[in-house]
């Protein structure tokens, strides 16, 4: 009877305590391994962030101020003519303001073959990395088989948010 009482009061709790201690130690070891693994992953991610930031710094596009709008329009019109497009109208829209940049909408209306239009858009994409195709509408005159297609192309020119003389809305 004394043995049973000793087991219940002293030995049993001591064995349970050792079991709990061993389980706690195993959990601690597991957490330390996880912490080490996460620390290594964090360091790898930080290294990748530094590499990406360096790559971005090397490729950041310097946006021009909107006051250079006449130069931009002249360049776009030259590209259109060189591609074989006949521009009937070039219009500027109102500047759209954002925190890091502004966009100047440029609308081009005219005629030309599909191949000439595709060539023009390719030239714009290659030569004006700060200009994006916004909209495009093509209309073919059914009465003129093989004739030129009428187009309405909207471009968005991304400009710096500098304060100064800005592009004005109007026709050119």
Residue pLDDT, tens place only, 31-40: 899 889 989 9
Which of 53-57, 101-105, 143-147 comes out lowest in average pLDDT?
Answer: 143-147
Task: Measure CA 60 to chain center.
Answer: 12
Return the closest-CA partner of residue 66 out of 170, 157, 172, 171.
Answer: 157
Instruction: Place 16 in a pLDDT band, splitting at 50, 70 and 90.
Output: low
DSSP 8: I
DSSP 64: P
Token pair for 75: 């360049």
Report whether 92 contacts 105 (CB < 8 A). yes
- Name the CATH superfamily for 66-171: Ribosomal protein S6/Translation elongation factor EF1B (3.30.70.60)
Beta strands in 75-161 (DSSP E): 86-92, 96-97, 102-112, 131-140, 149-159
Domain locations in the chain as residue ranges:
1-60, 66-171
| pLDDT of residue 166 exceeding 50 | no
What pTM value is reported for the model? Answer: 0.59
Bigger pLDDT: 43 vs 23? 43
Secondary structure (DSSP) of 85-109: -EEEEEEE-PPEE-SS-EEEEEEEE
Cα–Cα dist 107/167, whole Å: 14
Bridge-partner residues for 97, per DSSP?
102
Q: How much is the pLDDT for 88?
A: 96
Token pair for 64: 């021009």
Q: How much is the pLDDT for 99?
A: 79
């Amino acid at each position: 009877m004394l043995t049973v009482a000793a087991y219940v009061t002293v030995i049993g709790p001591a064995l349970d305590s050792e079991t709990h201690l061993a389980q706690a130690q195993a959990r601690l070891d597991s957490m330390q391994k996880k912490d080490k693994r996460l620390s290594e992953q964090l360091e790898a991610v930080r290294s990748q962030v530094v590499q990406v930031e360096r790559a971005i710094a090397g490729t950041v596009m310097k946006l021009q101020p909107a006051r250079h709008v006449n130069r931009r329009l002249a360049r776009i019109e030259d590209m259109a003519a060189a591609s074989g497009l006949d521009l009937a109208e070039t219009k500027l829209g109102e500047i759209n303001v954002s925190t890091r940049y502004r966009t100047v909408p440029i609308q081009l209306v005219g005629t030309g073959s599909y191949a000439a239009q595709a060539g023009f858009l390719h030239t714009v994409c290659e030569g004006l990395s700060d200009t994006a195709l916004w909209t495009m509408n093509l209309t073919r005159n059914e009465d003129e088989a093989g004739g030129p297609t009428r187009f309405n192309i909207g471009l968005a020119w991304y400009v710096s948010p500098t304060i100064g003389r800005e592009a004005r809305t109007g026709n050119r």
